Amino acid sequence: MWANWKGYLRIAEGVVRNYCLSAPGPGHCRSQKGRMADSGLLVPSSCDCFVSLPPASANREVIFGKNSDRPRDEVQEVVYFPAGRHAKGTKVQCTYIEVDQVEKTHAVILSRPAWLWGAEMGANEHGVCIGNEGVWSKEPVGEVEALLGMDLVRLGLERGSSAHEAVKVIAELLERYGQGGSCKEEPTPFIYHNTFLLADRTEAWILETAGRFWAAQRIRGKGKRITLYATLSSLEERQENIIIFKRTWLLRFTKGTQNISNQLSIGANITAEHHGLRQHAQEQGWWSGKGEFSFTEAFSLVHQPSRMEAAKARYCAGQQLLQQHSGQITAETIMTILSDKASGICVDSEGFRTTGSMVSILPQDSRLSCVHFLTAIPDPSRSVFKPFIFAANITPFPQVQSPSFGDEDPVRKIPRFQSQVDRRHELYRQHQLILEIMDRNQKDHQRLQEMMWKLQRQILDAMKNLLAGSFTLKPQELASLFCDYVGTELKLYK
């Protein structure tokens, strides 16, 4: 067992040195220009989110994970924003529109497409994690620019101190501002509505939307008889022997795992909902007004787009993978699931691929730090999940942040997306060269893959022992943790 943090870093550096001594010379690499995706080929786009709660988790931890599957050449960056205080009455500019700012925002770590304001996934200083997915329903998508689902992810993290509170934040913003606008950095609009998976140290929520309408379902690891008052202003839990009250719903017993994959999944087991949800469904002729109300049955399209049909297979595969490991799920388990290409969960196609991934450990013991692992680059099966822990004075990590183009950014000009810019950050560029080498030479592929696995194992062992109390980190070591491992990964690639 290593005595301190520097021991782990030395081992990680040793992994890199051992590879560099045996690696081919610089002439083996060649430069590349940004490859543009074939916009004429539309393959099923997808995302997958996972959560495990005790007793499904191996330890007293909630484990969250997400693959962000986006247009193949879209660059995803990792950014940190500290907590902030804001003057009353100020506005905040999101991707397309302004919304009212709150007086206090939480510190957040985000993984996001580099062209937009929001995020595909992220976490905040209170141990809240959120990921979103695109869905299509009977409710028409809005071409009028409003909030993107990715904006709502960031807003929920900046304003919610628990998963429950973040659900209310997103629902309120959705009802007030709506969702709409293109979700791709291309002239041809690509628009969808959103589902969200939210988790904290104690519980998880699924929030599914159709326009400004929404339904939410609470997930717990251990089945308990509880009732939940489904009003937006107050979701109140009561431990009682009587199960059904007016305007309450019984939370079903759960197995402690859940996943979402580009489709509506909330049936009659609704914990909270938009106040006019059922009335709207009835007015549209999607529900008779009698008998059990199912959000999925009422709002799902009769004829699903091909991308949503493909999502069903991934959803089932994700459920099976979670169930196979139930009771023993760790961060490494979720990383392995996110790297699974046979199931389609790790996407690698001509049009779309997994452009960024995230896994978080949320210990139920509040004295322990939450650990968030982010790749900042495509293909989790051929990249490294690097750890981030919230601390004071976080060391900047410009190696995974894209260049800024200010007012000249194509997303800022009207009409939008009429030109393209190079958003690749340093780690992205180096990683693309390595993927090119791996695709060209099987021997190099195996050697580089082994080095990545060894580095990942060192990182996982270090974080496991940190949470077990085998060693501690000084404040500055915590602050530089993510930056240090980004640097180690870059050394491996160079």
Active site residues: 47
Q: How far apart are CA 361 and CA 330, in angstroms?
A: 8
Are 47 and 66 in contact, with CB atoms under 8 Å apart? yes
Using DSSP, state whether 99 is helix, strand or coil. strand
How many Cβ atoms from other residues are within 10 Å of residue 24's Cβ?
12
Question: Which residues sit opposite 219 in a β-bridge?
Answer: 204
Residue with tokens 């709150």: 102
Structure tokens at 38: 């074939």
Nearest partner of 414 among 187, 132, 203, judged by Cα: 187
Q: How far apart are CA 241 and CA 220, in angstroms?
A: 19
Structure tokens at 206: 């699924």
Name the CA dihedral angle for 391, 396, 400, 401, rounded to a multiple of 10 degrees. Answer: 120
Residue with tokens 């484990």: 63
Structure tokens at 3: 């005595």
Backbone φ and ψ of 227, nearest 5°: -120, 150
Q: How far apart are CA 482 and CA 282, in angstroms?
A: 50
Q: How far apart are CA 56 and CA 218, in angstroms?
A: 16
Nearest partner of 127 among 73, 204, 192, 68, judged by Cα: 204
Are 177 and 99 in contact, with CB atoms under 8 Å apart? yes
Find the DSSP H helices in 353-425. Answer: none
Q: How far apart are CA 296 and CA 298, in angstroms?
A: 6
